[in-house]
Structure 1
Amino acid sequence: MKQETSVVSASLNGVRNSPRKMRLIANLIRNKEIHRALDLLTYSSKRRVSFILKKLLLSLLSNWKKKYNEFYSEKKEFLYIKEIRVNQGKTLKRLRPVPQGRGHRIRKRSSNIIVILDKKKEI
């Protein structure tokens, strides 16, 4: 028996926000339905991170429509975020001058985000 998989993914690499800040919002939308997650991101207080994740979710929804044409497009309420991972990307290392001619290292972190969308089983 062949089992159909209805999984679509989208990723975004090199986002100039630290993974810790991104995970705060990613944890809010994990395992939520897609329209509920978009609403949470619209009214979130973390504006910059929410804007990035919202654009990624809209891209994910577009990928879903492209893969399955319009067969599942009406049933958005059954689409949910199966998995969202925020990993650390490249770190830019900079020096900040401090007293007595020294320099302290500043680490500017970036994130890699992977989101997987799936279809809920209808009851």
Structure 2
Amino acid sequence: MTKVFTLDEVKEHNHSKDCWLVIGGKFLEDHPGGDDVLISSTGKDATDDFEDVGHSTTARSMMDEYYVGDIDASTIPAKVKYTPPKQPHYNQDKTPDFIIKILQFLVPIVILGLAVGVRIYTKSEQ
């Protein structure tokens, strides 16, 4: 029978000689890639950290070797999805949008016209 632990019990194992990590509702002991990686993810559900690294299928199969037990899901706090605050578009100099759009159209045309004008002027002087 699989032992079920609480998150508080897992949190007690948070140093390099005794480190447990919760991944996918189970927790692991030891890490073939080194202890530093584990220490930074102890005391929480590290499933996202594990997935973000992009572990290989070999690494995933090795999890069975380090498996210690299951975690009581009711002891893990619910994840809250971050929603950025709604803010209006910031127009630093308060220039109306239509003026900005006109300038974005006219400025390149003026620059092109000046370049062509300078080229024609310099050719006519030769």
TM-score under structure 1 normalisation? Answer: 0.26
Q: Which has the higher contact order (CA 8 A, sep 6+)?
A: 1
Structure with greater helix share of residues: 2
Q: If you compute each CA radius of gyration, which structure gives the higher value, 1 or 2?
A: 2
